[in-house]
Chain A
Amino acid sequence: MRHRIILADDHEIILDGLRRILEPEFDIVGTCADGRALLTALESLKPEVAVVDISMPLLNGMDAFRSAKSTHPRTRFIFLTGSPDASLATQAFRLGAAGYVVKQSAAEELVAAIHEVLAGRVYIAPRIANEVLQNLMSQPADSSKDGSGLTSREREVLQLLAEGKIVKEISAILHVSPRTVEFHKNNIVAKTGLHTTAELARYAVRNGLVSN
């Protein structure tokens, strides 16, 4: 049995080209020109793979995927884009996309990508794979952050501030320049939304940084 594919792109010529690439191997059950039509088509056609352009009228591909994710969890999404943007690709994979292919190399890559995705794996266009992986990996890098987003260094500074130390003293204790302490302090204010020393002290106590 041939696998069921749906295509979504608002450019007729692209749809045409894609059809010629895919038809020898897959069953193209439908094509649509915008995100809304795609959502309707998913409902009635229940394809295994959707090959979707990101920029489309009415509802863009990314947003269509956002709403289709929960209603059609079995349809896997491969994004197809004319401009290979690693940031966008990263965003797509964070959302749970199965593949990301650049249009220009669709003739060479798309068939392979669909096979990979059907096999339950993920396909990233080689041209941007490196950057996407780096983006994805760098996300949880700062594992020292607590719930508020404070880094461990900022928590140290917060504790000293809560203990009533002034910037000069803190810079001496931590062996960093006053400027750096001010930087941490500004970050603490921004991240916690607290301004006064009293508020910071209360926050520090509540978070177990200082014992009253």
Chain B
Amino acid sequence: MNVRPATLALSAVVLMSTDAEAQRFVAVPPPPNQPMAEDFDPERALFFATPNFVPLRNPEWTPLSGALGARDVAADTPVLTFEAGGKTLVLVSSQMSYHHVAQGEMAGEPWMVTF
């Protein structure tokens, strides 16, 4: 573990991603004097003032078969699946390309998916 010296000269800037044209990425200086992992370099990392994408939290679940029948999804729609609380849970990949993080609890079991 290393500790980063408190050298803060970076001003907040606004950056744009080609993957998210309407998204504002407001970079801010890294928090000073923090422990860091061995291979991590805070001078090279970008830290954002707030999350750029709203995480999907405590979502409501509906049967996948019903969503297919209602044409909310198609048979070949790319998805991510995982197990939590004894259930198979499914997230739509294109939607996770926005949220990046989904998190909740199923039958008392906390779960999180990152993408």
Q: Do A and B bind each other?
A: no
Residues in chain A within 8 A of chain B (CB atoms): none
